[in-house]
Structure 1
Amino acid sequence: MFHWCTDEVEPHDRFDFWREVRSKGLFGVTAELERERRADFFGEFSLRQLGGAGLVELKASHYTVERSTADIARAPGDAICVYQQLGDGGWFGGLRGGDFAITNGSFATSHTDLPYRTAPLGTAGFHLRILKIPVSGLSTQDKRIRELAPKTFNDHALAPLLGACFAGLGETAADDGGSDAASLVQALAHLALIERGIVRPGSRLGQAALRTARLSLARRLIARHLQNQGLAPAMVADLIGVSVRHLHMLFETTEKSFSQTVTDERLKQSRRLMREAPERLIADIATSCGFESLATYYRVFNAAYGMAPGDFRAQPSETG
């Protein structure tokens, strides 16, 4: 991962460096800020290469950005971008379809080589993730992809799927999960193309994207509801909006079934809690992780790790 922050540059040079080296050189855009406000400018970003795409997370104080025809000619991208807005919101303008705002938690998509202008809506500045996926790496080469002017997602049913895929990408980056990252990148790309009417949901590509995204969402819902002893396939299937049979089919493509995944996540959580809170009672940890009884927890833990929870806790943390 590449990370950079304006703290690495002298205060009077920070915005100029951000504008000339980072914005123009790395992102192919023109950045502008009133001269009297430049001394207080702050910006940072990280860049990861995942599954054939680039994932950027950017935070910066308020300034304006333009991707002009000159910028495009100088630094063509030929990629689609999927944006996840994390801050106060943003404004996009200079578009054929008119200006629009993207609110916190929302998503948008575009092709890199169409002009636009953008600025934060709030005083806090920019905070967003951008997944940049080369068109050459997509499974479909529909010519309409290069006509995707910036636009928000209007299908609200896709939002939790997109959020789960973005979160999953962050986790695979930490775990170096190359194949998982590639499938999540393709899923995000094709969900964007479903939204824009280029890929049909019922097509092979559409179904594959929805399966990957729903599986990612199911895993996140499991992690979120571990403490609930009523965590069951019917509950998760209802939250996702699929049948129980479809949920089980999603897990058939993985190494572990739904119930095995739940148990594994509960055991991992219990191990973390024993390390982080050594004074906490094991019975309390078992309950907080959703095990129905202490006896069940001991039986499952011993089957998985060949030792009792207390013996695990007694080990030095380096060997745990």
Structure 2
Amino acid sequence: MYRWCTDEVEPHDRFDYWREVRAKGLFGVTAELERERRADFFGEFSLRQLGGGGGLVELKASHYTVERSTSDIAYAPGDSICVYQQLGSGGWFGGMRGNDFAIANGSFATSHTDLPYRTAPLGAGGFHLRILKIPVSHIPAQDRRIRELAPKTFNDPALAPLLAACFADLGEAAAGDATSLVQVLAHLALIERGIVRPGSRLGQAALRTARLSQARRLIARHLQNPDLAPAMVADLLGVSVRHLHMLFEAAEKSFSQTVTDERLERSRRLLRETPERLIADIATSCGFESLATYYRVFSAAHGMAPGDFRARGSEGH
């Protein structure tokens, strides 16, 4: 992981350095800001190289404008698709074929790197976004239309939650898992843009992985509910219970094993981090139907009672 911040540069040089070295040199764009506002400029970013040729950037910066012009493209061609996740107050895109558009906080957009555009944050808070960049040469679904993807919001209400789940997983994934997630995200973007068919081999594989990712996140979100069951998650996911079980059959753990392991993991964390909290309260907050059930499941998994586990932790073991 590479991180950089304008605090490493003298205040009067910060925007100029950002514009020439970071914006143009690293991202291949032209950055502009009124001279009288440059003294207050702030910017930071992280760059993580991922398997499958992908790169994940998270960028925060105070307000300025960005352009990827034809000369910028000629100077630094990228031949990649980008998936943008807006995290700040929103952004505006314009200057390309079609209408200008705004992208709201939490929303996504996709594009090919080598088409002109302009962008600026909508709010006073400036930019905050993640950008996943995937070289076209690393995408199995080769299609000339990939290079014609002008920036566009990700509007499919069924696909957007899947993209969000996989994006969240990507930020936490180990190198091997990141490689497959990069491919899944690329294919989800191409499904949304009409280039990969959902029923194709690549489309089905991407949708299966993404739905499993979202199912796991739904489990984590509703873990406290003792009535958490396949029917509930399947309904939230928009699939049948049979389809949900098929997703988990292809994974390392079944649905019930996943729920139990998540509850145990959360309870272990709470036992370590909140030594003053009653074990009965921890059991309830993790979704165990009773204290007796919690003791039985915990002891079977760890060979000791929750209280003994907590005592060992306090002793430094």
- Pairwise TM-score range, normalised by the shorter structure: over 0.9
Partner of 2:125: 124
- Find the counterpart in structure 2 of residue 308 from structure 1: 305
In the other structure, the counterpart of 1:113 is 114
Q: Deviations over 1:178-236 (max 9, x none)?
A: 23212211111111101111001111111111111111101111111110001110000
**Does the CA-based 8 Å contact 2:56-2:132 persist in structure 1?**
yes
Give a deviation string over 1:155-180, Cα, whole Å, max 9, x none.
121111111011000111xxxx2232
Identify the residue that residue 46 of structure 1 maps to in structure 2.
Answer: 46
Quick one: distance in 1 between partners of 2:219 and 2:315? 28
Q: Detail structure 1 runs of 4+ shifted over 3 Å in the superposition.
A: 316-320
1:65 aligns with 2:62: no
Secondary structure of the corresponding residue to residue 140 of structure 2? coil
Task: Determine helix, strand or coil for the equivalent of 2:158.
Answer: helix
Partner in structure 2 of residue 146 of structure 1 = 147
CA distance in 2, matches of 1:224, 1:133: 30
Inter-partner Cα distance in structure 2 for 1:128 and 1:311: 44
State the one-letter code of the partner of 1:269.
Answer: R
Normalising to structure 1: TM-score of the pair? 0.97
2:29 match:
29
Q: Counterparts of 1:159 and 1:266 in 2: how far apart (Å)?
A: 27
- What is the rounded CA distance, in whole Å, between the counterparts of 1:252 and 1:192 in structure 2? 26
Given that 1:109 and 1:148 are in contact with CA atoms closer than 8 Å, whether structure 2 keeps it comes out as: yes
For residues 1-20 of structure 1, what are the structure 2 equivalents within 5 Å? 1-20=1-20
Cα 1:285–1:184 change in 2 (3 A) is: same
CA distance in 2, matches of 1:148, 1:61: 28
- Partners of 2:100 and 2:281 lie apart in 1 by 53
Q: In structure 2, what is the equivalent of residue 208 of structure 1? A: 205
Deviation at 1:115, TM superposition (A): 0.7
Q: CA deviation at 1:51?
A: 2.6
Task: Please report the RMSD computed on the Cα atoms of aligned residues, expressed in angstroms.
Answer: 1.1
Question: Residue 192 of structure 2 corresponds to which residue in structure 1?
Answer: 195
SS in 2 for 1:316: helix
Asked if structure 2 preserves the Cα contact closer than 8 Å seen for 1:183 and 1:212, the reply is no
Could you tell me which residue of structure 1 aligns to residue 178 of structure 2? 181
Question: What is the identity, as a one-letter code, of the residue corresponding to 1:270?
Answer: S
Alpha-carbon distance in 1 for matches of 2:157, 2:294: 39
Q: Distance in 2 between matches of 1:288 and 1:153?
A: 35
Counterpart of 1:137, as a letter, is H
Identity of aligned residues (%): 86
Q: Deviations over 1:253-277 (max 9, x none)?
A: 1111010000000000001111111
Q: Tell whether the 8 Å contact from 2:272 to 2:313 is kept in structure 1 after alignment.
A: no
Partner Cα separation in structure 1 for residue 192 and residue 144 of structure 2: 16
Distance 1:150 1:121 in 2: 17
Equivalence for 2:157: 156
Within the alignment, does 1:263 sit opposite 2:264 as a pair? no
CA distance in 1, matches of 2:223, 2:179: 27
Shift of 1:100: 1.1
Question: 2:244 is paired with a residue of what secondary structure?
Answer: helix
SS at match of 1:156: coil
Give 1:317 deviation, angstroms.
Answer: 5.8
* Letter in structure 2 aligned against 1:94: G
Provide structure 1 residue ranges, at least 5 long, that are not aligned to the other structure: none
Secondary structure at the counterpart of residue 218 of structure 1? helix
Aligned equivalents of 2:315, 2:47: Cα separation in 1:
30
SS at match of 2:159: helix
SS state of the match for residue 62, structure 1? coil
Residue 317 to residue 127, structure 1, CA distance change in 2 (3 Å) = farther
Secondary structure of the corresponding residue to residue 311 of structure 1: helix
Alignment counterpart, residue 279 of structure 2, candidates 275, 278, 282: 282
d(CA) in 1 for partners of 2:249, 2:314: 34
Residues 32 and 263 (structure 1 numbering): CA distance in 2 closer, same or farther, change over 3 Å?
Answer: same
Could you tell me how far apart the structure 1 residues matched to 2:194 and 2:102 are? 21
Question: Given residue 32 of structure 2, which amino acid in structure 1 is its aligned partner?
Answer: E
2:237 match: 240
TM-score with structure 2 setting the length? 0.97
Q: Aligned pair in 2 of structure 1 residues 145, 318: CA closer, same or farther (>3 Å)?
A: farther
Task: Please report how far the alpha carbon of residue 318 of structure 1 lies from its aligned counterpart in structure 2 after TM superposition.
Answer: 8.8
SS in 2 for 1:4: strand
- Paired residue type of 2:77: P
